[in-house]
A and B are shown apart, each in its own frame.
Chain A
């Protein structure tokens, strides 16, 4: 079946690193994603990783994929107050479908 799970809340101090975790159940997922949503706004595609990769780095963002454990993480280095948002993990391609399947989102709160 298709299921994506995330912890609901994370609080970090400004300047520290944040690590947001996600687990998924469908091993046929082709791509895995991190989207960011600020209050009242749509979703911003932050980064994604192909399922045959285990790491992707993009400026302050590092994505780690453990395909054996079906675990995805997003590390944000030097977290800033502007990073406060809800972060959604998603998968695409499971079952051959073209839809994204999202987790419930992790609310990241950055405090001084």
Chain B
């Protein structure tokens, strides 16, 4: 399968715990995006990387959130001291630099904070 993959698919955690999600983009794609989708809403942009550089961050990305893409391939999104309001689907997408308008999404990681 050459699509975007995300792990884990589901994560249940207790409030206050830290969680980390991983995204593997389509292999030749050098841009990688994170979005968050809450129930009944469309996805909202969090941040994106071009190769290993994080170029844009949304105001939604509080200090408890950190994203990395150390070698310009896979990316991780960590949430520290999770809160119930962090419960959502976290979606990753990737694109080519030359076609940033054509973003392909992974299946998402559903986070439930109890």
Contact check, A42 vs B108: say whether CB atoms are below 8 A apart: yes
Contact check, B45 vs A45: say whether CB atoms are below 8 A apart: no
Pick from B14-22, B73-81, B98-106 the stretch touching chain A: B98-106
Would you give the shortest CB distance from A53 to chain B, in whole angstroms? Answer: 13
Bound: A55/B104 CA distance, A? 22
Contact check, A101 vs B45: say whether CB atoms are below 8 A apart: yes
Interface string of B51-63 (1 = CB under 8 A from A): 0000110100000
Contact check, A45 vs B106: say whether CB atoms are below 8 A apart: no
Pick from A11-19, A63-71, A75-83, A88-96 the stretch touching chain B: A88-96
Q: How many residues of A contact B (CB 8 A)?
A: 24
Residue from A4, A41, A92, A103 within 8 A of B107 (CB atoms): A41
Contact check, A104 vs B105: say whether CB atoms are below 8 A apart: no
Bound: A38/B4 CA distance, A? 16
Contact check, B44 vs A98: say whether CB atoms are below 8 A apart: no
Contact check, B105 vs A42: say whether CB atoms are below 8 A apart: yes
Contact check, B42 vs A105: say whether CB atoms are below 8 A apart: yes
Would you give the shortest CB distance from A30 to chain B, in whole angstroms? Answer: 7
Bound: A10/B24 CA distance, A? 34
Contact check, A48 vs B42: say whether CB atoms are below 8 A apart: no
Residues of A within 8 A of B6 (CB): 42
Would you give the shortest CB distance from A70 to chain B, in whole angstroms? Answer: 17
Bound: A15/B112 CA distance, A? 38
Contact check, A102 vs B107: say whether CB atoms are below 8 A apart: no
With A31-B101, A41-B107 already in contact, the answer to whether A99 and B42 are too (CB < 8 A) is: no
Q: Is A85 an interface residue (CB 8 A)?
A: no
Residues of A within 8 A of B85 (CB): none
Contact check, A93 vs B101: say whether CB atoms are below 8 A apart: yes
Bound: A99/B49 CA distance, A? 11
Contact check, B106 vs A90: say whether CB atoms are below 8 A apart: no
